[in-house]
Each structure stands twice: as structure tokens, then as C-alpha cells.
Amino acid sequence: MGWIAGSVVWLGMLGCGGGDQDQEPFVYEGTWAVEGTVCQEGSEPQLVEVERVEGELLAWVMRDDACRQRGEVLWEGQPDTSGKVSLGDASVAVRSEGAHRLHLEAADGALLMRRVYPETGPPVRPDLGEFSLSGQWMMEGYPCQDGLVPQLVQVREAGGSLGVTKVLGDGCIGAGVRFIEGRLDGTSLEVDAYLEPPDDWGEVEGHPSTGRVRVPEYFRLDVLGQSVGFRRVLGDLS
């Protein structure tokens, strides 16, 4: 009951984004998936953590890419009072859309930010009802020799079959590769997880792994003794 009550309070805080003065202010802090960030004349997703430091919001990058290092600030400012943030050398407008999306009107194209589910280990709810795992998720803790880098993945689930594909790659498996496949039975997961791209001949070893859907926005797998958490990207467009 405590977790459910806390979730109701948190969701109540999100159900605003401006407008009605009786509602709570929009919540900027937390983890976000960002689309539209430009790197080497291209665009690729990124993951950022937004924190308030001495009254100012900072969005710092959670993983290295070709243009940014982990911990680098993507944008900073006070969008809750000015409606703008500093993105590089530019001051850009910020607009919220519902509870889970932010739009930054950058000069080289708009950035879309979608909130990542904030819980990292909620208790299992006894009755989840109907749910689907299909959509985009942030994955944390997947083993790779490059370290436990947060990942952005796409889950497709139909008829009990489950597949997970990298949206952002790492030193072990590149973007666009399906690296987890298996079955969902109720809330229980039984999958094969790969630490390198699987091949058509079955020569790459898959590691049998199990897990549990705790709530429709969070599930967990045990891969080679490593606890791997999946947090849903809210406001998903897929």
C-alpha cells in the first residue's frame, strides 16, 4: 500500500506541465531519453539525468558518445521560471507536453525529451492486469567489458514472445542488434541473453536468464548473476 500511495502522489505531481495554478509545478528532475541531439552531423538518442543544483537545473549526459563525455552538461537553466535553457551557446525555449515530454526548440532542430520511469526496484504487484512490454526502455546493469553503461533498448512482445534490440550500442553489441529473446509467461520471463551479436548458425552462446515483471513500467532480469533493470520510457511514441 505504501508504494501504491507514493506512486499516486508522484503521478499527481506529474499531471500538470503548466496551466492550472491549482496543480503542482512540472517536475523536471529525473532521468530522460533525448531524441534529436546532433553529433558529427548526425542525430542520435542520448540519456540524461536532470538535477537541481543551487536553484538551477542541469541536464548531464549519462553515457559517452562521439561528441560528449559522461557527466558533460547538455543544457542548463531555469525553465520553470524563464521558459528557456542554455543549450551550448544558444538560449532555447522549453515546452512541456503532458506529464512526460519536453520539447527544446534548438536552432538545428527540436529536441524531444521523454521521461524514464523513476523507480529502480518497486515491489511486485500481485495483479498487474493486462499489460504489454512493447516500447522503449532504459536498461541498466547489463554485463559488458566496457562496464555497466546505461542503454536504450526497444522491446517487442507479442503472443508471449519477447525480443530486445539495442537502440544505443556499446563495446559488446552495436545498435540495431537483437540480443535478448525468449518468453513472457504472466509476469515471469525466461530468455536467452547474448554478450556478443548472435549469429544464424548458433555458434554464439546465449545465456539462459530469468526475470520478473514487477510493474508494467519496470522489469528485471538476472544475467550471469548480474541484476539487470529495465525502466520504461514514458510518453513513448512507438
In the chain, the N- to C-terminal Cα span, in Å, equals 32
pLDDT in tens, 99-143: 899 999 877 678 899 999 987 667 777 778 889 999 999 999 888
User: What CATH number has the domain bearing residue 156?
Assistant: 2.40.128
Q: Is 187 a member of any domain?
A: yes
Domain boundary among the residues 68, 87, 115 is at 115
Is there a domain that residue 68 lies in? yes
Residue 5 has pLDDT above 60, yes or no: no
Which DSSP symbol is given to 110?
E
Question: What type of residue sits at position 71?
Answer: G
153 with 194, same domain: the answer is yes
pLDDT over 90 percentage in the chain: 51
How many domains is the chain built from?
2
Element (H, E) at 2: helix 2-14
CB 184 within 8 A of CB 133: yes
Same domain for 228 and 140: yes
Share of the chain above pLDDT 70, in %: 83
- The answer to whether residues 29 and 99 belong to one domain is yes
Q: Three cell numbers at 26?
A: 512540472
Same domain, 217 and 145: yes
Decide: pTM greater than 0.85: no
| Tens digits of residue pLDDT in 29-47 | 999 999 887 676 566 789 9
- Long-range contacts, 183-188 (Cβ 8 Å, 24+): 184/133, 184/157, 184/160, 184/213, 185/160, 187/124, 187/128, 187/212, 187/213, 187/214, 188/212, 188/213
| Residue 151: strand pairing partners | 139
Q: Which of 58-62, 119-123, 185-189 has the lowest mean pLDDT?
A: 119-123
Range of the domain at 79: 22-115
Domain assignment present for residue 128? The answer is no
Cell numbers describing residue 168:
544505443
